[in-house]
């Protein structure tokens, strides 16, 4: 009897378990893919499920391997009478039982097929059902609209800080956690081919004949995005017996509404002291704000009571109410039932979007760090090699040229990107860091080595007349550094600014003008590099150009060189149009020569730039307004 029990249990484990998992779609490949997605979007619930399923497959693989090993050993000892002894180890016990039944007692194997397998089926099906029912809201990575809105808002915050930064400023780098979050959002944005999502998010906020309303995506049904309209006088409920699941779905809705309503005539109020406050972009702690003004209010109410006879929620004429609760019979609601989330009253099945507390935390950190003001630049500028040989041009389209102006060519675009990375990361040039920055996924060593070899060949092609210089030395460690004679146009500019501050002679001013002449466009223009933005390199390159332009323009203004002012400020406006300090210098240059038409032309150009930039809200700076009145009345 003991042998039959061992044989039945072992058969269910070795054959029944993988069969059930495969039939239910839980293959090792599917589990690994879902695990990667769960790690990427940082969903702890799905991560735990996938780790459990992966552990189940690992246990089966270990048991299968043990059985194979014991079969080999048993076959080798088939003439030994001890084979018939029942072992205490389960894998060997199964092998001995199988051996004794097939070759010793030879009973009919039909008994093995009569054993029930419900226990294994239930264990495997339970995990699959929990995923298929969509009880857990989708993570941040699944919401293309929210990702696009977040990226647009981060860009808005950075642009605002750059425009308000005075000359000689420096943008402190964001933390590694926030940089990873920003890069992850960009990876998701690209993977979803969401190039036109940003335009779609702008259309979520509508202003009609009456008060404005917002269309909010709440989930996916049949591969189509489901939206709900939050208009004045309406109410929408998010209902789940597990209030935490309802909160996760509500956080997504709140975040989208706050981003869509930013700077408009809609206010978002969350009546709770919990972490449900979402991204806290425009929350108001006043519970009666909906009655105090004419602006439209989207009020979020949390109700954990299960009293079916509680007083009905009153909705004011200028507000839309979103209620998060555990019990509701309101017609317009999204409810979690035994079959997953349903949109009522149509009973449409929806895989809802969500935002976990952890995701909310990392997004809040990213927004907070992106909103940090610029600081005074106290960094020490290392002097460049006077006998430099190669200049990597980053202030515009990325390329490289020799000291004589001969362009360098590279077989692979990644080789040129690696050159740009190495020249901007001289303090920590490691192979691991370079591979992490240049590739979104892990690459083979051979691929990276080919890129490095291509870079060496490209640099060597421009070393004519240069003796015994190895621009990219070969090492047997993780260190990967570039030779000091390879510089960038940003190094030239920073060095020129430093020399002007130290000496201020005629030669240093000519050097600054020559450095500014290298500015062609926005830093890294025409590339799709992610690392310059995530590390704040692009922002600081822009500030370097602005600092040099302001210094050169002020010097030209003091010398009475009006054309010099326009040229210097024009170089700065190439990287940041509408910069207030640069515009003010141009207006003053016109004012110095009494050109009122020129002052008005610069003012009109400044007003047009405000219409295209959301950072200002369309309102001109009081400082520029005062300057205009000073110059032309």
Map out the domains of the chain as residue ranges. 2-132, 140-370, 379-526, 527-632
Tell me the residue length of the chain.
633
Q: Is the pLDDT of residue 126 over 60?
A: no
pLDDT at 76 over 80: no
Q: Give the model's confidence band at 49: pLDDT under 50 very low, under 70 low, under 90 confident, else very high.
A: confident
Residue 575 or residue 118, greater confidence: 575
Reply yes or no on whether the pLDDT at 303 is more than 70.
yes
Asked whether the beta carbons of 344 and 163 are under 8 A apart, the reply is: no
Taking the whole predicted model, whether its pTM rises above 0.75 is answered as: no
Is residue 89 scored above 80 in pLDDT? no
The pLDDT of residue 258: 82
- Mean pLDDT, rounded, for 546-568: 94
How confident is the model at residue 292, as a pLDDT? Answer: 43
Q: Please provide the DSSP assignment of 482-508 as one string.
A: --TTEEEHHHHHHHHHHHHHHT--HHH
Structure confidence at residue 115 (pLDDT): 29
Q: For residues 199 and 609, give the distance between their C-alpha atoms in angstroms, rounded to a whole number.
A: 19
User: What pLDDT score was predicted for residue 465?
Assistant: 55
When pLDDT is cut at 50, 70 and 90, the band that residue 281 belongs to is low
Please answer whether residues 350 and 219 qualify as being in contact, where contact means their C-beta atoms are separated by less than 8 angstroms.
Answer: yes
Per-residue pLDDT reduced to its tens digit, 463-516: 655 555 778 888 777 888 888 889 999 999 999 999 999 988 999 999 999 999
Q: Could you identify the residue written with the tokens 């009655």?
A: 291
pLDDT for position 92: 53
Q: Which long-range contacts (CB under 8 A, 24 or more apart) does 623-630 make?
A: 623/580, 623/584, 624/580, 624/583, 624/584, 624/587, 627/584, 627/587, 627/588, 628/587, 628/599, 628/603, 630/591
Give the model's pLDDT for residue 124: 28
The tokens for 449 are: 């080595």
Provide the pLDDT for residue 104. 40
Q: Domain 379-526 maps to which CATH number in 1.10.10.10, 3.30.70.380, 3.40.50.1000, 3.40.640.10? A: 1.10.10.10
Q: Distance (Å, rounded) from C-alpha 466 to C-alpha 476?
A: 25
Which range is least confidently modeled, 67-71, 124-128, 191-195? 124-128
- Pick 67 or 75 by higher pLDDT: 67
Mean pLDDT of 164-192: 85
Q: Which residue has the higher pLDDT, 283 or 398?
A: 398
Residue 84 has pLDDT above 70, yes or no: no
Q: What would the mean pLDDT of 216-229 be, rounded to a whole number?
A: 86
DSSP state of 273: S
Sign of torsion over alpha carbons 592, 597, 603, 609:
negative
The mean of the pLDDT values for the chain is 78
DSSP 212-255: -EEEEEEEEETTEEEEEEE-TT-EEEEE-SSHHHHHHHHHHHHH
What is the spatial distance between Cα 548 and Cα 107, in angstroms, rounded to a whole number? 92
The predicted-structure confidence for 611-627, as pLDDT tens digits, reads as follows: 766 555 557 778 888 88
pLDDT at residue 228 above 80?
yes
Neighbouring residues of 434: CB distance < 8 A, sequence distance ≥ 6: 418, 421, 422, 425, 448, 480
Least confident of 92-101, 326-335, 502-511, 527-536: 92-101
- Average pLDDT (305-331) is 80
Residue 133, pLDDT score: 47
Q: What percent of the chain has pLDDT over 70?
A: 76
Closest C-alpha among 265, 299, 301, 260 to residue 281: 260
Class of domain 527-632: mainly alpha
Integer Cα distance of 201 and 196 in angstroms: 9
Q: Which two tokens stand for residue 408?
A: 């360098």
Residue 106 has pLDDT above 50, yes or no: no
pLDDT at residue 88 is higher than 90: no
Q: What are the beta bridge partners of residue 270?
A: 300
The residue ranking higher by pLDDT, 394 or 173, is: 394
Which of 174-188, 217-231, 389-403 ranks highest by mean pLDDT?
389-403
**pLDDT at residue 75 in the model:** 57
Strand ranges (DSSP E) for 114-168? none
> Rounded to whole angstroms, what are the CA distances from 555 to 81, 123, 236, 448, 506?
102, 78, 61, 47, 11
């Amino acid at each position: 009897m003991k042998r039959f029990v061992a044989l039945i249990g072992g058969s269910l484990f070795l054959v029944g378990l993988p069969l059930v998992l495969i039939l239910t779609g839980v293959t090792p490949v599917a589990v690994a893919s879902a695990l990667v997605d769960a790690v990427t979007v940082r969903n702890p619930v799905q991560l735990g499920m996938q780790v459990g399923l992966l552990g189940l497959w690992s246990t089966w693989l270990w048991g299968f391997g043990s059985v194979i090993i014991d079969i080999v050993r048993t076959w080798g000892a088939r003439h030994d009478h001890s084979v018939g002894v029942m072992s205490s180890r389960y894998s060997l016990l199964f092998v001995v039982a199988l051996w004794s039944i097939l070759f010793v007692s030879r009973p009919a194997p039909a008994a093995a097929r009569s054993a029930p397998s419900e226990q294994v089926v239930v264990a495997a099906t339970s995990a699959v059902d929990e995923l298929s029912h969509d009880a857990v809201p989708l993570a941040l990575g699944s919401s293309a609209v929210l990702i696009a809105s977040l990226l647009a808002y981060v860009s808005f915050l950075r642009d605002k800080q750059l425009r308000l930064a005075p000359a000689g400023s420096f943008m402190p780098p964001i933390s590694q956690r926030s940089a990873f979050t920003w890069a992850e959002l960009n990876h998701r944005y690209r993977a979803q081919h969401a190039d036109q999502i940003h335009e779609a998010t702008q259309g979520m906020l509508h202003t009609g004949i009456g008060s404005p309303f917002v269309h909010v995506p709440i989930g996916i049904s049949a591969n189509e995005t489901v939206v709900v309209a939050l208009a004045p006088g309406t109410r929408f409920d998010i209902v789940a017996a597990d209030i935490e699941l309802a909160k996760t779905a509500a956080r997504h809705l709140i975040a989208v509404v706050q981003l869509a309503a930013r700077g408009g005539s809609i206010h978002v109020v969350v009546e709770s002291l919990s972490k449900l406050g979402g991204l806290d972009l425009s929350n108001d702690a006043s519970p009666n704000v909906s009655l105090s003004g004419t602006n439209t209010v989207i009020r979020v109410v949390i109700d954990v009571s299960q009293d079916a006879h509680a007083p009905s929620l009153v909705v004011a004429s200028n507000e839309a109410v979103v209620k998060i609760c555990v019990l509701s019979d309101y017609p317009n609601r999204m409810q979690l039932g035994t079959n997953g989330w349903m949109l009522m009253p149509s009973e449409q099945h929806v895989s809802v979007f969500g935002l976990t507390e952890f995701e909310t935390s990392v997004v809040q950190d990213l927004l907070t760090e992106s909103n940090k003001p610029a600081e005074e630049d106290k960094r020490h500028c290392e002097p460049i090699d006077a006998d430099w040989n190669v200049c990597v041009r980053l202030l515009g389209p990325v390329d490289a040229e020799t000291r004589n102006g001969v362009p360098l060519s590279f077989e692979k675009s990644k080789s040129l990107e690696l050159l740009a990375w190495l020249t901007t990361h001289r303090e920590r040039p490691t192979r691991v860091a370079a591979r992490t920055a240049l590739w979104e996924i892990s690459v083979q060593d051979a691929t990276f080595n080919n890129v490095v070899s291509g870079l060496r060949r490209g640099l060597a092609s421009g070393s004519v007349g240069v003796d015994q210089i190895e621009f990219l030395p070969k090492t047997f460690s993780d260190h990967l550094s570039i030779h000091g004679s390879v510089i960038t146009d940003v190094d030239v500019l920073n060095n020129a600014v430093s020399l002007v501050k130290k000496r201020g002679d005629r030669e240093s001013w000519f050097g600054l003008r020559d450095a500014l002449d290298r500015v062609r466009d926005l830093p890294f223009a025409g590339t799709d590099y992610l690392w310059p933005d995530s590390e704040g390199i692009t922002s600081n390159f822009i500030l370097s150009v602005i600092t040099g332009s302001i210094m050169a323009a002020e010097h030209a203004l003091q010398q009475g060189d009006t054309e010099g002012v326009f040229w210097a400020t024009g170089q700065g406006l190439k990287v940041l149009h509408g910069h207030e300090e640069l515009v003010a210098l141009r207006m003053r240059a016109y004012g110095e020569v009494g050109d009122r038409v020129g002052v008005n032309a610069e003012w009109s150009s400044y007003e047009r730039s405000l219409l295209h930039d959301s950072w200002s809200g369309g309102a001109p700076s009081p400082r520029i307004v005062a300057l205009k009145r000073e110059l032309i009345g």
